[in-house]
């Protein structure tokens, strides 16, 4: 079924229009949920909206879909204005021509798979023959052949998800929106679905904006990630950019599950900071305006820490507090001063005291 999606022989008109969200504000009741968010989704691009719960990512998606009315800012797709707070323009969802895959899939239980997918085409008064061709073609591409007469209640979670995607794609929408598309699948299925979803989306050539709270999912599927925090955009960039060059402590802390410890800033040398942590001198990348003599937040990813070789500099030393066997690797907790640092190793460690080395490039220091 993955192969089939790759073929993509069906003609799809990749829209050449950019989605632009400008200074978007959404107020729900007393709550300012989005506080001036900017975002662009280029044609053919897959963008993930990532953030902790309550960060406003679903709100942003629903605002783009037209399911809620923002209080300020603008949303445009190409030249078409979806929403303009100043001019009081609000295009209702049915006139935006978007596809939306709901978290719950939201398949109509009283319609067959075929009728679910055909609905948007029927509304657009497409001739019955073309409807048939389009629906059966889509179902075939998504590996759903033979299920067209079934009702959604008789489908598995994975099948429902694909029907939901087929329904969103049926009327050739200008942009595809997906709300936590994989969250209802069980863990094993989800890993396969990531690959499948990315390939399928890429095969359609459509721009897609999808919400997720799972960073792994965002990194695997998206071309770019937009990381939201408390109604503001923290950083937008490729998964690698966000991971390697997180602009803020929040971004660094959110991606991966790093050690964040406090360290004293001793001095600055260009973009490198000299720090002191529990008596050990350490060099790290300065990620903001650090002030010598003040404390900084030091982000040390577990995967950046390794047992130091003989004579290696930029290292810390501490006592091994815990060692956990996790199947594919060991997870160790080392006490360095007041801080507990976590790192991995493929083999168990022999001794009770551990010296850990880190490349200065991989240690990130943020103003405390």
Partner 1 sequence: MVRKAPLAPSVPWPLALLTGAVGLLVLAPIGILVYQSLLTAPFFAPAKRFALEAYRYVLHDPYFLEALKNSFLIGLGMVLIAVPLGSLFAFLVTKTDLPFARLFELLLLAPIFISAIILGIGFIVAFGPSGVVSGWVESLLGHVPWTIYTLPAIAVIAGLTHVPYVYLYVASTIQNVDASLEEAARVAGARPYQVALSVTLPLVRPALVYSGALMLLLGFELFGLPLVLGDAKGILVVTTYLYRLTAITGTSAYHLMAAVSVLIVLIAFTLVLLQRYLVGRMEGRYVAIGARGYRTERLPLGRLRYVWAFALALYLLVAVVLPVLGVVFRSLVTSWGPGVDLREVFTLGHYAEVFKLPNLSRAVTNTLWVAAFGGLVALAFYLLVALGIQRGRGFGRVLDYLAGLPRAVPGLITGLAFLWIFLFFKPIAPWRNTLFALVLAYTVVWMPYGVRLLTAALLQVGREVEEAARIAGASPVRAFLHGTLPLLKGGVLTAWFLLFIQFVREYSTGVYLMTAGTEVLGAQIVALWGTGAVDVIAALATLQVLIVSGVFLLANRLGVRPQGL
- Chain positions contacting partner 1, by CB under 8 A: 65-68, 92-100, 102-104, 106-110, 119-120, 123-124, 151, 153, 167-168, 171, 177
Other beta carbons within 10 Å of 188: 8
CB of 133 to partner 1, least distance (A): 18
In the complex with partner 1, the residue whose CB is nearer, 119 or 280, is 119
CB of 122 to partner 1, least distance (A): 9
Q: Which residue has the tokens 């691009």?
A: 45
Strands 339-345 and 330-336: antiparallel
What phi and psi, each to the nearest 5 degrees, are found at residue 132?
Answer: -60, -50
d(CA 303, CA 358): 10
In the complex with partner 1, the residue whose CB is nearer, 153 or 309, is 153
What phi and psi, each to the nearest 5 degrees, are found at residue 4?
Answer: -60, -45
Name the strand (E) or helix (H) holding 189: helix 187-204
In the complex with partner 1, the residue whose CB is nearer, 153 or 279, is 153
In the complex with partner 1, the residue whose CB is nearer, 91 or 264, is 91
Residues 271 and 285: beta-carbon distance below 8 Å: yes
d(CA 32, CA 230): 9
CB of 38 to partner 1, least distance (A): 23
CB of 118 to partner 1, least distance (A): 10
In the complex with partner 1, the residue whose CB is nearer, 180 or 223, is 180
CB of 13 to partner 1, least distance (A): 17
In the complex with partner 1, the residue whose CB is nearer, 39 or 177, is 177
In the complex with partner 1, the residue whose CB is nearer, 171 or 343, is 171
Contacts of 163 (CB under 8 A, 6+ apart): 105, 107, 113, 116, 117, 142, 144, 147, 152, 155
CB of 244 to partner 1, least distance (A): 36
CB of 92 to partner 1, least distance (A): 7
How far from 283 is each of 175, 255, 292, 305, 359, CA to CA, in Å?
45, 22, 13, 13, 8
Strands 280-286 and 363-367: parallel
CB of 47 to partner 1, least distance (A): 18
- What number of CA atoms fall less than 13 Å from residue 202's CA on the CB side? 15
In the complex with partner 1, the residue whose CB is nearer, 118 or 286, is 118
d(CA 158, CA 77): 31
Order of strands across the sheet with 232-237? 99-101, 175-179, 207-212, 46-50, 224-229, 232-237
């Amino acid at each position: 079924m993955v192969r089939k999606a790759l073929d993509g022989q069906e003609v799809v008109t990749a829209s050449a229009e950019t989605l632009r969200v400008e200074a978007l504000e959404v107020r729900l009741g007393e709550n300012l949920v989005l506080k001036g968010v900017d975002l662009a989704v280029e044609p053919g691009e897959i963008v993930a909206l990532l953030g902790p719960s309550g960060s406003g990512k679903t709100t942003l998606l629903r605002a783009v879909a037209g399911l809620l009315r923002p209080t300020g800012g603008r949303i445009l797709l190409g030249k078409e204005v979806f929403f303009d707070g100043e001019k009081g323009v609000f295009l209702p969802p049915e006139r935006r021509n978007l596809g939306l895959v709901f978290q719950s899939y939201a398949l109509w239980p009283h319609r067959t798979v075929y009728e679910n997918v055909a609905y948007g085409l029927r509304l657009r008064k497409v001739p019955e023959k073309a409807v048939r061709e389009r629906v059966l073609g889509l179902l075939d591409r998504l590996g759903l052949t033979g299920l067209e007469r079934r009702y959604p209640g008789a489908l598995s979670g994975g099948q429902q998800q694909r029907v939901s995607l087929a329904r969103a794609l049926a009327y050739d929408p200008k942009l595809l929106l997906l709300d936590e598309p994989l969250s209802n699948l069980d863990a094993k299925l989800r890993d396969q679905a990531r690959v499948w979803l990315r390939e399928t989306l890429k095969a359609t050539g459509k721009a897609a904006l999808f919400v997720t709270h799972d960073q792994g999912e965002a990194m695997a599927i998206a071309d770019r990630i937009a990381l939201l925090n408390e109604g503001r955009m923290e950083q937008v960039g490729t998964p690698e950019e966000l991971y390697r060059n997180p602009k803020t402590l929040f971004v660094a802390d959110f991606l991966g599950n790093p050690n964040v410890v406090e360290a004293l800033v001793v001095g600055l040398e260009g973009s490198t900071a000299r720090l002191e942590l529990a008596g050990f001198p350490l060099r790290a990348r300065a990620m903001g305006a650090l002030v010598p003599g003040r404390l900084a937040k030091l982000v040390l990813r577990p995967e950046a820490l390794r047992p130091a070789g003989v004579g290696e500099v930029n290292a810390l030393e501490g006592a091994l507090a815990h060692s956990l066997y996790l199947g594919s690797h060991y997870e160790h907790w080392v006490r360095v001063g007041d801080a507990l640092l976590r790192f991995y190793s493929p083999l168990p460690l022999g001794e009770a005291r551990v010296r850990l080395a880190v490349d200065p490039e991989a240690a990130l220091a943020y103003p405390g």
